[in-house]
Structure 1
């Protein structure tokens, strides 16, 4: 049995996850990951919510089944001959997104970094540059908090983001722009274009309050620009970029998801980030965001002082 931590959870797994931070096997697990056949009882009693059984989709084809139950158990039943290197990204992506939602977290398609004791997130679909931008901040000395799957406890005051694991997935051109030799990065699988940049240092291992969310655009702009979003547009973007919404479709999960998104909009500043397409402009983009965050903190401090003197 292998033991790890991610999202402030103790994880025991029957097979290794080199992506995750190691833990002690002696500790009682919060989550157990197994590789075996699903029983008839497990499939018959699945409810599509806290006991979800679904098809395992790998490379746009069905490759088995999986079970996620009560935010505590993941069972994967792959078809014969499926490589573990393909299973791990699926488990750490879609399967874990379901598990985290079963644990009442809002799960966003986002990467995030630690700035001034807070979490700053970049929201967007795969290939939109959120991992690249997070890694650019990491190269400037900021801690990485999450890549691709961001779990938030919205009910906390303020909302809290949990650390995932010390890794960023990068495409060849992004890796080169960030100063990495792509061939030296860890291969995910022969058919996957991205590679893993595993970080030995600089991973933020504590949960942090969510300070700001930037929604990335998939259209190149003539200049970098940050635009505040209206509450209505911010809500739409959170719903659009949430994880596991196609798997957890019961009325209870749909209503709780909308409620979580609405609560986050009330408590966190959400902006649209327009960017030039050139990767060479990353340092300029990082500086713009740093200045925006610094101004936000200054305005918050000023408001606190005004309130105290009133």
Structure 2
């Protein structure tokens, strides 16, 4: 029998038990499934994963479906994980003295996304806040400004649901957004203007690193009012005003599917499930396109425009 877990958490609609300390909430929250994280050594993976799949090669990230139904993930030089066939247990191993922050970051994003697909749950590349009692989600790839815009809303009195990784659940005629990790990732140049009282921990290397800022997120799922898909700054270089455009169902569907967090699993079963899921989501939650100049001085206008849009659609 396996030894007892050291840590118990709640995140993304899951009850998480873990051998690792994780930056997740320990407050009891509504959940739809459980997930276990177990530490293992290299020998465990060597006995279960073909040698050819574990060998180093130029590819940075590996994903493989194994014959027994388990799934193998490896990020070269950082980690390897094995997800059980029922998606309820994840075995992990840190490689080559990888930084703990990087290991936990990919565990709580990429690995979660693979495990949740095993439960039939899609995830979004999105940041979500609560405005006047309802959740709104900002969709977009990295560098679109999701976290910066969310931080501006937080400074304006909103509450954080999750940053960069969103899980939804059906409730009544709509959807709810599950609370994620109690933190937000920002560049220091943004945080000193938007959240000046917060102290962050360096998260990424490089000359312009990102920092993690602890927050007090909501502690229960929130009704999702709308998606706002952020237009790339490169596409609107000459734009000077804030624009919000309601999308037709087909456009909304494309925005939803293009912003799913996990884009590597392309099996027929997953794609068919994703089609049904995205089609249903866009019939129940409005999807809008939000474009604005990427300057700090325009953020109050963006907040006002989004609040006005929410009020007008009530």
Whether these two folds match at TM > 0.5 is yes
Contact 2:12 2:179 in 1 (8 A): yes
Determine if contact 1:2/1:15 at 8 Å carries over to the other structure.
yes
2:57 corresponds in structure 1 to none
TM-score under structure 2 normalisation?
0.83
Q: Partner residue of 2:274?
A: 257
8 A Cα contact 1:112 1:120, kept in partner = yes
SS for the counterpart of 2:266 is coil
Aligned to 1:130, which of 122, 132, 146? 146
Question: Residues of 2 paired with 1:133 and 1:72: CA distance?
Answer: 34
1:240 to 258, 272, 285: 258
Relative to structure 1, is the Cα distance of residues 166 and 50 closer, same or farther in structure 2, using a 3 angstrom cutoff? farther
CA contact (8 A) 2:244 2:291 kept: yes
Within 2, Cα distance between the matches of 1:224 and 1:125? 19
Question: Could you list the runs of 4 or more consecutive aligned residues of structure 1 that deviate by over 3 angstroms after TM superposition?
Answer: 37-50, 61-64, 189-192
8 Å CA contact 1:32–1:72 kept in 2: the answer is yes
Q: Does structure 1 conserve the Cα–Cα contact (< 8 Å) formed by 2:78 and 2:103?
A: no
Q: CA RMSD in A?
A: 2.4
CA distance in 2 between partners of 1:132 and 1:49 (Å): 43
Does the CA-based 8 Å contact 2:155-2:195 persist in structure 1? no
- Equivalent position SS for 2:241: coil
Instruction: Give the Cα separation in 2 of the matches to 1:181 and 1:160.
Output: 30
Match of 2:36 in 1: 32
| Pair 1:290 & 2:307 matched | yes
Q: Give me the whole-angstrom Cα distance separating, in 2, the residues matched to 1:187 and 1:197.
A: 9
Question: What is the rounded CA distance, in whole Å, between the counterparts of 2:296 and 2:39 in structure 1?
Answer: 40
Q: How far 1:125 sits from its partner (Å)?
A: 0.6
Deviation string 1:87-144 (CA, Å, 9 cap, x unpaired) is 0111111111222222222211000111343221000011111111111111121111
Unaligned runs of 5+ in 2: 1-5, 51-63
- Which of residues 90, 93, 97 is equivalent to 1:81? 97
CA distance in 1, matches of 2:46, 2:272: 30
Count of equivalent residues? 284
User: Does residue 71 in structure 1 map to residue 87 in structure 2?
Assistant: yes
1:262 counterpart SS class: helix
**TM-score calculated relative to the size of structure 1:** 0.84
Distance 1:160 1:223 in 2: 31
Matches within 5 A, 1:57-68: 61-68=76-83
Describe the superposition over 1:236-278 as per-residue Cα deviations: whole angstroms up to 9, x where unpaired: 11111101121x2221111101211111111111000011121
Cα deviation, 1:147-168, whole Å, max 9, x if unaligned, reads 1000112586312211112111
Residues 288, 50 of structure 1: alpha-carbon distance in 2 compared, 3 angstrom cutoff: farther
> Structure 1: 5+ residue runs without aligned partners?
298-310
Inter-CA distance 48–96: structure 2 relative to 1 (3 Å threshold): farther
Does 2:49 correspond to 1:43? Answer: yes
